[in-house]
């Protein structure tokens, strides 16, 4: 994928060529092994560069038409819904009037962190009437918002490492620092729904005499709810994605495919390998999450935080071209044996 991305950048220098692959350098999913009574905590290491490129990819899809995305099979895993992600976006331009405290609150709601000293991607800092923002999708540029009273006097682009000014801007659009960002009204409704599911699940477990599982589930879920109420996020927030995205049980999760337009063209490279991977990812994920839910480590709704099923992907994909020297059964069936 990295080689394709590099080549497309050279072939299409004027287009938005983006890269969307798994951002984990290391990932050990949460799991439970009943046979040995072993719980494996989730461990992961996120690659900041790839996370930035994923943000750049979704931003380009929402703002431009000339976009080429090089993606891995991980694009069938859920990210935040495009509706919520777009709703949390706001724009500023020179001459706008705004309250500095309200702007800082908006940035915190978008999961930007205040870092007055260690100014890194996904953070902001305040210096008097100046607010500096390091957007989630940029690598070596940040924005300085200069206020005169409550009016935006200037918007400057600068190098966050050297502080050197690189340009003057008339307006900027700020996207969230996480694809799982959620507006407060939606978050409040999600918390209410999680509490209702927890209540029903605890009754089920207690009736079945599974008191250890009930105690475990209540303790873990209530801690997550406290974090959601206080900060708008929690560890493993993706396990509550059904409520945060407003989906119904069993609905397909929001993925990159909801960001791409209907007239897009998808090339499935090495399709004889890629297509079976798409079908296999859901089954493995479901078995692991079903065990977590059964033994009280997660609510049953965690199973809706999943990759797309093959049938869902097949129905959702736009016009597609399968590229393979040795096409498999699906490719032969779709093409009628003609290629």
Residue 218 shares a structural domain with residue 303: yes
Residue 282 shares a structural domain with residue 141: no
- What CA–CA distance (Å, rounded) separates 302 from 297? 10
For residue 242, what pLDDT band results from cuts at 50, 70 and 90?
very high
The domain tally of the chain equals 2
pLDDT (tens digit, 9 = 90+) per residue, 245-299? 889 999 999 999 999 999 999 999 999 999 999 988 888 889 999 999 999 999 9
What per-residue confidence (pLDDT) applies to 254? 93
Helix (H, G, I), strand (E, B) or coil at 282: helix
Residue 165 shares a structural domain with residue 188: no
pLDDT (tens digit, 9 = 90+) per residue, 1-59? 889 999 999 999 999 999 999 999 888 999 999 999 999 999 989 899 999 999 999 99
Residue 117 shares a structural domain with residue 220: no
What per-residue confidence (pLDDT) applies to 86? 92
Residue numbers of the domain that contains 232: 2-84+180-335
Which of 159, 174, 189 terminates a domain? The answer is: 174
Are 297 and 30 contacting, i.e. CB atoms less than 8 angstroms apart?
A: yes
For residue 320, what pLDDT band results from cuts at 50, 70 and 90?
very high
CA neighbours closer than 13 Å in the CB half-sphere of residue 23? 17
What per-residue confidence (pLDDT) applies to 31? 94
The CATH number for 152's domain is 3.30.2060.10
Cα-flanking dihedrals φ and ψ of residue 132, to 5°?
-110, 130
Q: Which residue is it, tokens 């997660």?
A: 298
Closest CA to 143 of 132, 130, 128: 132
What per-residue confidence (pLDDT) applies to 16? 96
pLDDT (tens digit, 9 = 90+) per residue, 72-100? 999 999 888 899 899 899 999 999 999 99
Q: What's the rounded mean pLDDT across residues 301-308?
A: 94
| pLDDT greater than 80 at residue 123 | yes
The CATH number for 288's domain is 3.40.50.300
Q: What's the rounded mean pLDDT across residues 133-148?
A: 96
- What CA–CA distance (Å, rounded) separates 108 from 96? 20
Residue 94 shares a structural domain with residue 217: no
- DSSP letter at 324 equals -
For residue 337, what pLDDT band results from cuts at 50, 70 and 90?
confident
What per-residue confidence (pLDDT) applies to 80? 84
DSSP line for 79-124: ---HHHHHHT-EEEETT-B--HHHHHHHHHHTT-EE-SSS--TTEE
Residue 206 shares a structural domain with residue 115: no
Residue 23 shares a structural domain with residue 156: no
Q: What's the rounded mean pLDDT across residues 159-175?
A: 95
What per-residue confidence (pLDDT) applies to 291? 96
- What CA–CA distance (Å, rounded) separates 144 from 287? 48
Tell me what percent of the residues of the chain surpass a pLDDT of 70: 100
Burial of 13 (0-12, 13-18, 19+ CB in 10 A): exposed
Which of 174, 207, 241 terminates a domain? The answer is: 174
The token duo for 280 is 């296999």
Residue 121 shares a structural domain with residue 167: yes
| pLDDT greater than 90 at residue 181 | no
Q: What's the rounded mean pLDDT across residues 163-181?
A: 94
Bridge partners (DSSP) listed for residue 39: 32
Which of 174, 199, 226 terminates a domain? The answer is: 174
What per-residue confidence (pLDDT) applies to 335? 85
- Give CA separation, 48 vs 22, 97, 139, 180, in Å: 11, 34, 10, 16
DSSP line for 9-65: HHH-TTSEEEEE---EEEEE--EEETTTTEEE--EEEE-HHHHHHHHHHHHHHHH-S
Residue 103 shares a structural domain with residue 134: yes
Pick the range with the lowest mean pLDDT from 117-126, 202-211, 279-288, 318-327.
279-288
Residue 33 shares a structural domain with residue 126: no
What per-residue confidence (pLDDT) applies to 2? 87
For the chain, the average pLDDT equals 93
| pLDDT greater than 90 at residue 207 | yes
For residue 227, what pLDDT band results from cuts at 50, 70 and 90?
very high
Residue 150 shares a structural domain with residue 239: no
Residue 45 shares a structural domain with residue 94: no
Q: Which residue is it, tokens 């493993």?
A: 236
- What CA–CA distance (Å, rounded) separates 217 from 262? 41
The token duo for 96 is 């706008």
What per-residue confidence (pLDDT) applies to 131? 96
């Amino acid at each position: 994928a990295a080689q394709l991305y590099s080549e497309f950048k050279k072939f299409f220098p004027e287009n938005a060529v983006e890269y969307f692959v798994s951002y984990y350098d290391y990932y050990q999913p949460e799991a439970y092994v009943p046979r040995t009574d072993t719980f494996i905590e989730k461990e992961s290491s996120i690659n900041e560069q790839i996370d930035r490129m994923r943000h750049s990819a979704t931003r380009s899809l929402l703002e431009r038409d000339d976009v080429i995305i090089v993606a891995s099979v991980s694009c069938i895993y859920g990210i935040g819904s495009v509706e919520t992600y777009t709703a949390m976006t706001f724009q500023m331009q020179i001459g706008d009037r705004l309250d500095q405290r309200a702007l800082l609150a908006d940035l915190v709601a978008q999961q930007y962190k205040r870092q007055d000293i260690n100014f890194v991607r996904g953070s902001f800092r305040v210096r008097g009437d100046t607010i500096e923002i390091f957007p989630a999708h940029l690598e070596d540029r940040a924005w300085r918002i200069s206020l005169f009273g409550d009016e935006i006097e200037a918007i400057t682009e600068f190098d966050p490492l050297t502080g050197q000014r690189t340009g003057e801007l008339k307006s900027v659009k700020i996207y969230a620092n996480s694809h799982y960002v959620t507006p407060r009204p939606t978050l409040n409704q999600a918390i209410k729904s999680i509490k209702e599911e927890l209540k029903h699940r605890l009754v089920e477990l207690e009736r079945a005499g599974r008191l250890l599982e009930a105690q475990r589930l209540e303790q873990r879920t209530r801690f997550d709810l406290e974090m959601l109420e206080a900060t708008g996020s929690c560890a493993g927030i993706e396990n509550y994605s059904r409520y945060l995205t407003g989906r119904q049980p069993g609905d397909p999760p929001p993925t990159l495919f909801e960001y791409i337009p209907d007239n897009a063209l998808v090339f499935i490279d090495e399709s004889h390998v890629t297509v079976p991977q798409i079908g296999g990812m859901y089954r493995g994920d479901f078995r692991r999450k079903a065990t977590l839910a059964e033994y009280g480590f997660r609510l049953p709704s965690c199973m809706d935080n999943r990759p797309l099923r093959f049938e869902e992907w097949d129905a959702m994909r736009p016009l597609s071209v399968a590229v393979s020297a040795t096409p498999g059964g699906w490719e032969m069936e779709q093409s009628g044996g003609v290629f």
